Structure 1
């Protein structure tokens, strides 16, 4: 799984006390990972939870080197959170067709994403490789070619998923995400109530709808607040560490991401009313949660146009 760590800062959350940092730990979606019931509902023809990488029959390599290259490509794609498997094609598989052509005295590796019906959905080319090293099946050369190509292939897969979502009226590209907010616990003073009210108000927009039940929710959000003793402080006043963790899970209960807010405060300053602090913290958290939902669902990803503008049926049988 690919993890993207974001750090955002907003002033004025604790008055003159300083800054409250929000860091979001976000899951970047890939269409060949099994995303559970939610993900399978995002596109009418979502790809299955694997990408087959068969041994190429015509890649200007010997049999052993061709097998090694397919394993190298599968391993490099796993590093990009694409569950690729170096195996023969099975019914219903999306798969990656490996190949190679000579151009300008070099070998150019090629990578075509294929639908189960055998149609080319996208094609990427790798960097030029020494023809002699390629023909010799040099292991380092094959591994390097696979590592260099993997990010582009993963990006193509994400674009394919986005195109499918774009054509599916049920996907989150065409409706607001249904979010059940399970509340806040652990905050001192009136923080549980104040944060919950402020967050529910801050999250509602055209992209996200907060509902009062978990039934049919796309995502569930909850927040846990912890307060622990800190250092004495530069002026001799006792300090406390304040941490707010806003956790987002999908409809299958899988972790979609989390946004964590951290701050050192004068001890017990939030033991009573949170007031504007709750509003500012909730607005910041809503932005982080919105990014988690967008990244995990892929609703903001740019669709990859079908080759030649022709529609592609994702899961048709060969």
Structure 2
């Protein structure tokens, strides 16, 4: 397996905390759109155990147009502030635009989370020029900020493997350090709920590529449709999928609920014998 510069020494998956500087986020409804609120969330999730903070300035789904200049204004000051306060924490910028990534990396980001699968063909080149990391995603060719419509794959897992590993190899050829790459099956992006469940069911095949796998499962529509739950009621389903994926070797999870995700990862790891319990007195004293 490809080694990763982002992972810890305990053999457990790590958590990438979501911080959206958008007024129309699908989950938090703009709770961290303001700078002070976003910085406070960064402090909170880092204290809860997040190893990466993922800062984004544009809602993934349909919504108001956000220019590159406005996106830069939303994310760059926050990245700079988090980098100054927490120099040991990895900062990721969630963007599909190369000009935004360039400014974000200059401000302190060391990972580019490209959730739109290289739509901007220069994005991985910018990451490579700065020797920053890169998240390779899969969308099946969907245009940024659009929803899937009657999507079909002959084999969604094979499509994910082919697209993400090809992006990873391209990124390395452009200067991105091999140990600073994740591949992301990218649930919901260009996929339906049946695709999302199959990606989980066959996650071993994606892990077997050798590239560290990042999963963004948190409160996604495939969880909601599986359980018949609205956005605010999807945490339990998300954590069940997280436990399953952690058991099968996923390296990182992008999450809204950081503390709960950290606990699920550690509990699953303890059941598997990877780590010891943190505080054992019952029946021993």
The verdict on a shared fold, with TM-score over 0.5 as the criterion, is: no
- TM-score normalised over the length of structure 2: 0.22
Greater helix proportion: 2
Greater strand proportion: 1
Which entry has the higher C-alpha Rg, 1 or 2? 1
- TM-score normalised over the length of structure 1: 0.20
Higher relative contact order (CA 8 A, sep 6+): 1
